[in-house]
Structure 1
Amino acid sequence: MKNQSYLFLIGGIFSLIIAMGIGRFAYTPILPLMQKELSLSNTVAGYIASSNYAGYLLGAILAGAIPFKKYRTNLLRVSLIISILTTALMGLTYSHLLWNALRFLSGFASAFVLVTASGIVLDKLATVRKTSWSGIFYGGVGLGIFLSSLMIPSLNHLFRWEGTWIGLAVISGVLAIFVWIWLDEKPNVVEKKNKQDIIVKVPPTKWLKWLIIAYGLEGLGYIVTGTFIVSIAEKTSYFHKGATLVWMLVGLTAIPSCLIWSLLAKKWGYIKSLVLAMVLQSLGIAMPAFWMSKTSFIISALLFGATFMGITTLATTLGREMNPSDSSRTIGILTAIYAIGQLMGPILAGVLSSFTHDFNAAFIGAASVVFFGAILLSSGIHFETNPDVHPSNTKKQKSIN
């Protein structure tokens, strides 16, 4: 049983590497390579990025609205195939229109992978009483970012930016074979909790609206750094042909971050941990606007990597704990509001940078939005210190009010 759980978890991690670490986020380190050879403006780059987030939004809405629990495994597999194909096709065309269409489809697939894989894996971990392993699962995004950042310079040197997309798609295809074998959802017998089990205190379901709003603000703010930080670093004198290092640091710190934040949530509470993570992230986002140096970019990348997937881990796990009877729908709604923020962020930042001729205003605005989200979340901290509030209260509520 234990070995099966490990393989199940690894299959989930591989699915996130394919659809998120590569399918969704490889655009960030490949963008400066494309801009250099094709003279893409920040505005065009922002629209292409936002096409991905528009697809992500549609996918999240459908994943949250359709009761597909019986078909999660099949939907996951189809979504992975779409993700791999759209990654490969990015290197086989030079059309802005097709790039927008491909990034849209890639975003659509990545949302379905995130929602379906999260639902499958989190439900399985809850069954075997290993909820804290969710941090290991979501670390797959950081692992995908780190591994792709390691490979992109070599792939670009050998095959230019076109071959980089295709090479990453081939690697994704190999990983998908293991996902197919290991991440196969089967009916599970839910184990009863013992009296000695630690009960994680969470707010009542009616407070979920504040989590949803704050998570949407997080999507709007974080994505400015998530889309443009490598491109901006590339244009400075501090990273001569080595800006991919910035994205590699993001991935490297993201790998353990999810587990660390999960452990902190067990000790401090999910909401306190979310507030801290968002405050730290807002500092990292704003830093290059006030202190432009190699050190500031590195610190910004480290803070960003240490928080962005940790926030996703905390928010989705908290959402599931608050509404366990309909986990996929809850995660789908959270993912959708996050995607709305992501859709707006790159467009606003790209247009704003074209007017101001730098990204300082965009970074400050993005940091302010994330910080405001942290303030909204702080309204729920008192629930975690109330001994009468725990998951057994919320399980009686089967839908989101």
Structure 2
Amino acid sequence: MRAMHPTNRMLLGGFLTLAIVMGVGRFYYTPLLPLMQRDYGFGPDIAGIVAAANFAGYLVGSLMATVVSRGAPRLAAFRVGIVASIVTTFAMGLTDDLALWLVLRTVSGLASAFAMIAAAGMVAEALAAIGAEARLSWMFGGVGIGIAGSGLLVHFAAPFIDSAGLWMAAGLLTAILAPIVFIEIGERDLPATLRAPDPRRRVPRPLPFWPLMLNYSCEGLGYSVFATFIVAIVKSRPGLEGMGDWVWIIAGLAGLPSCLFWSRMAERFGFSAALMAAYAAQIVGVLLPVASDSGAAALVAAVLFGGTFMAITLLTIPLGRHGLGGRGFAVLTAGFGLGQMLGPLIAGFLVAGDGNYDMALAGSAAVLGIGLVALAVAIRMRPATV
């Protein structure tokens, strides 16, 4: 690996970081949920509570991470986050106690936030210093490969290992990758690049903050219902039981190139235009399982959802991070985090009561629609000179 260019090595470290703490640490619960319900007998209300605990931890961790200083404190936060994510993933297989699950998933969310924000900060700053900020999109593909890899693990190992064993297997596999990220992610300078920037490349033009805040909060709530329950939804439909894992795997594979694709679209057509298109595609993806029970609809939904949910974050942050005197990133993250915590909680109790999964997905699509309207308002309000 030492033959690789230092920039590529750092990007690989960031890629694997997001695979560990996001693709597995944060989203592994989705393909495991039907197996956990089979093994432990809990309903969608408990499923929503466990998911919300992880998202609550992520919210708190995101806010705490914004006050961590650069240098040694940020590097320490990153390493602690990696270790905590791996340990809590493994430990989920050691207990069947709900209270301990909630603690573990909350700590896992904290760990995901610390590791992701610290790693993204170190990589982004190193890339910015050499004029290669656009390459950060390669790092976010790690979320997709983590989702796809963990989905494949569940699909092929589930006939032989119960859900507890699958939690522990994922913890062990991510531990194998940890030395690479510890070596490659750090506070360091990268060699200067000789490649001149493309003068035709569009750059983000900031949007009015509060409409963008509403938009991003709606995204947090709207995406989280699909991200939590889609495997359980597909597996609950007659004739599609064997397709549930593949829906999640395909969502991960679609996410692998998504940030690169949408970054290119943003640079060509504008960040706001690309963000509008990504929202529209995600809304269609969330509604497809409501409109049709077919396997084809589920697979197309997986592509549309997986191909947009990380990219929306990547496109939103540049449009709002300078708002509120430089506190825009923290406040946007708080709104998103609150939304994604409420999404599975509300959906779980809705399905456990008089509702069903179709109602939950339709409701989350409606929230995404409100977010799209708020984005359109923000674009309309933006001064022409900005």
Same fold (TM over 0.5): yes
Partner of 1:77: 79
TM-score by length of 1: 0.89
The amino acid of 1:172's aligned partner reads T
Moved more, 133-142 or 49-58: 133-142
Unaligned runs of 5+ in 1: 390-401
Shift of 1:199: 6.3
Q: Deviations over 1:173-200 (max 9, x none)?
A: 1111100001111256999998975564
Task: Report how many aligned residue pairs link the two structures.
Answer: 382
TM-score by length of 2: 0.92
Query: What is the CA RMSD across the aligned residues, in angstroms?
Result: 2.5
Partner of 1:282: 283
Residue in structure 2 matching 1:53, options 49, 52, 55:
55
Partner of 1:396: none
The amino acid of 1:169's aligned partner reads G
Partner of 1:370: 368
- Is residue 350 of structure 1 aligned with residue 352 of structure 2? no
Shift of 1:51: 0.5
- CA contact 1:115–1:331 (8 Å) conserved in 2: no
Alignment of 1:321-400 (within 5 A): 322=322, 330-381=328-379, 386=384, 388-389=385-386
- Structure 2 Cα separation of the partners of residues 178 and 43 of structure 1: 38
Unaligned runs of 5+ in 2: none
Residue in structure 2 matching 1:118, options 117, 120, 123:
120
- Is residue 107 of structure 1 aligned with residue 100 of structure 2? no
Alignment of 1:179-198 (within 5 A): 179-187=181-189, 197=199
Q: Deviations over 1:217-269 (max 9, x none)?
A: 10000000000000111111132344111100100111011100000000111
- Structure 1 Cα separation of the partners of residues 157 and 174 of structure 2: 14
User: Cα 1:222–1:368, aligned 2, differ >3 Å: closer, same or farther?
Assistant: same
Partner of 2:30: 28
SS at match of 1:162: helix
User: Cα 1:236–1:243, aligned 2, differ >3 Å: closer, same or farther?
Assistant: same
- Structure 1 Cα separation of the partners of residues 8 and 335 of structure 2: 31
- CA contact 1:223–1:345 (8 Å) conserved in 2: yes
The amino acid of 2:288's aligned partner reads M
Alignment of 1:247-286 (within 5 A): 247-286=248-287
User: Cα 1:2–1:159, aligned 2, differ >3 Å: closer, same or farther?
Assistant: closer
SS at match of 2:264: helix
- Structure 1 Cα separation of the partners of residues 192 and 185 of structure 2: 18
- CA contact 1:155–1:167 (8 Å) conserved in 2: no
> Kindly, what percent of the aligned residue pairs are identical?
35
Partner of 1:175: 177
Q: Deviations over 1:54-77 (max 9, x none)?
A: 11111011112x142222222111
- Structure 1 Cα separation of the partners of residues 45 and 64 of structure 2: 29
- Structure 1 Cα separation of the partners of residues 156 and 34 of structure 2: 15
Q: Deviations over 1:283-305 (max 9, x none)?
A: 11122222222122112111111
Residue in structure 1 matching 2:140, options 138, 161, 164:
138
- Structure 2 Cα separation of the partners of residues 91 and 85 of structure 1: 11
The amino acid of 2:30's aligned partner reads T
